[in-house]
């Protein structure tokens, strides 16, 4: 777990991608389960319900946000245990998210990408994803959940200064 910002901004074809990477000493299947099984996602982000599969829409609860809202999440790509891409729509807009996993020697790397909409405010989005990915790490080891106040607003300046 880290409390220093790690995200980077990538511009490709005029689009902005926020990219964060985490590494776990665990097999890829276990990390995949942590980001796809409802009982496991409930421990760090929120549970989901519905019939999963590419092209299908599930409902995801943002259990650690004010009001614990539910939102629709369309599964764009699901290639177990390596790649998951979803699009969610909520009161704050459309979110295009992707997780890519690779395993080397019992260590799994998660590369999380938020394909940002033009109006997305990275100084708010970045600290949020840092928090959630550290919450995933904490859930994986049964450690204490991080405190969002350790991420925002302290990481805001870092994200404001990323080259855009």
User: Of all helices (H) and strands (E), which one includes residue 133?
Assistant: helix 122-141
Domain with residue 105: its CATH number is 3.30.530.20
Task: For residue 147, give every residue at least 6 positions away whose Cβ sits within 8 Å of its Cβ, in sequence order, or none.
Answer: none
**Which pLDDT tens digit goes with each residue over 69-92?**
999 999 999 999 999 999 998 877
61 occurs within a structural domain? yes
Q: What is the pLDDT of residues 10-59, one digit of tens each?
A: 998 889 999 999 999 999 999 999 999 999 999 999 999 999 999 999 99
Which token pair is 72? 């629709």
- Domain containing 127 equals 8-160
Q: Is residue 1 scored above 50 in pLDDT?
A: no
Q: Model-level pTM?
A: 0.95
- The total of structural domains in the chain comes to 1
Q: Is 2 within the bounds of a domain?
A: no
* CA 5 from centre of chain: 14
């Amino acid at each position: 777990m880290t409390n220093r910002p790690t995200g980077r901004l990538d511009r490709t074809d005029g689009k902005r991608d926020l990219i964060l990477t985490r590494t776990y000493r665990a097999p890829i299947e276990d990390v995949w389960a942590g980001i796809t099984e409802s009982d496991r996602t409930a421990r760090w982000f929120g549970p989901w319900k519905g019939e999963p599969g590419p092209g299908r829409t599930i409902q995801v609860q943002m259990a650690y946000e004010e009001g614990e809202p539910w939102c629709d999440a369309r599964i764009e790509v699901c290639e177990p245990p390596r790649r998951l891409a979803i699009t969610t729509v909520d009161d704050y807009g459309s979110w295009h998210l992707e997780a890519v996993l690779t395993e080397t020697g019992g260590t799994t790397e998660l590369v999380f990408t938020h394909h940002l909409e033009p109006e997305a405010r990275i100084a708010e989005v970045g600290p949020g994803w840092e928090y959630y990915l550290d919450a995933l790490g904490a859930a994986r080891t049964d450690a204490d959940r991080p405190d969002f106040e350790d991420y925002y607003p302290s990481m805001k300046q870092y994200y404001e200064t990323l080259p855009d």
